[in-house]
Structure 1
Amino acid sequence: MPSVTVLADESSVTHELEVGARAADLFKDRSIVVARVNGELVDLATELTDGDVVEPVSSDSEQGLAVIRHSSAHVLAQAVQDLFPGTKLGIGPPIKDGFYYDFDPENPFTPEDLDALTKRMQQIVKEGQLFSRRVVSEEEARAELADEPYKCELIGLKGGTPDDDVMEVGGNELTIYDNLHARTKERQWADLCRGPHVPSTRVIPAFKLMRTAAAYWRGSEKNPQLQRIYGTAW
């Protein structure tokens, strides 16, 4: 039976948990969106082991808000590929005032497209799709993402130092996040990402798509020019 220490409000409490218990089992407060386990930000679905030190991360904290914005970027990308099939995915990190996601679409996005994307995102949020982390090998990732050339380029960066602008990779594992139907658990969409993410899309309280801009892939003029959509979530 694992024993873990929970740090909160400058105090610590030891909990005895059942084998297989997850970080979410420690926190009933719905404002807790992710946790820090042994100093590392992780999903609430992370299984805990004996000796872990766990800290809650709330939605009103800087790190919690960044996770909400990152999850919002995933919802945007899902909406784009739902409404504009064939659009290729770039990167989609949280930034100081919100988030962005880079795309390679057939045609540039219009203001009307942003309106349509907002409506689709609202539907995805309302559905309460679950964010589910899945560890994959490099071979598996390349096979699954064979139609996503920009993602495949990022796979080669695995094992490097995590980069705030490249949320897809960093660290020792490659992971894909599946968006699952809340009831059937069927996969609705997926993206290469190191995470962490909020438990479900319903946790995203409010968002707004702001504008579009042209952006070179990974900031280099030698690379293709992509379409960037900026948004914010709070």
Structure 2
Amino acid sequence: MQLASLALHLGRAVPDVAERLSQLGFQVPDPLPGPEFMTRANAELTGRDARSRDWPAEDEPVDVFTLAQLSDSQTESLPRLAELLTTLGYDVAAETALVESLTPGDIRSLRTHTLAGARSALPIPAEHLYAAAQLTGLTTEQITDGLTRLGLDVEPIPEDLAADIAIGEELDAVLGSNPPTRATPPAHHANPARRISLPALASVAMRNRVSFREAAQVATGLGMSHEAEDWFG
């Protein structure tokens, strides 16, 4: 894409520019870009923003944060920008319907988070999904779906964490809180020892505003095993 933009800026044919770059030791694409890339809009898009730190690498999917940052210097709407990048060979990971539904306020908010190119630091850890579910009251499946629609990559929740979440919610139900952090029933997650981790015990205690000791003792009374079983006599 940048080769086509350079050729357009120089007023030269793409093969001529490619040949000269090869002579200078640069690697050029094979096959060479066709005439459909030789547009003023493409040249404007690549010529200015290719120097920006927010410009996406050509071999990485484009998330919604990167789209929003690029749109800050473009007159194109976000859906049109996504369409243009797709035409230029980029993999726009953000869901089309979501991009089209974003309001100007949404786009400004996305820019302020300065997460352009965040997808390269992904996938988002499963523990972060669980924490987000706790903070928002959504299920981990809803959190995952929302992040995926933004074009981000998330780590699947492993079976041991899912089992810990499920048994923690069982304890929550007894202590008075039961945040819906999952959409599948506890029986789906194998935990024959009914073991609950110390972090899960601590989270349940904090959510229900009881002491760790009380949460641990209630867990023991429910037949759950944990490392704190002998801590309190």
Q: What TM-score, normalized by structure 2, do the two folds share?
A: 0.24
TM-score of the superposed pair, with normalisation by structure 1: 0.24
Larger Rg: 2
Higher helix share: 2
Which structure shows the bigger proportion of residues in strand conformation? 1
Higher relative contact order (CA 8 A, sep 6+): 1
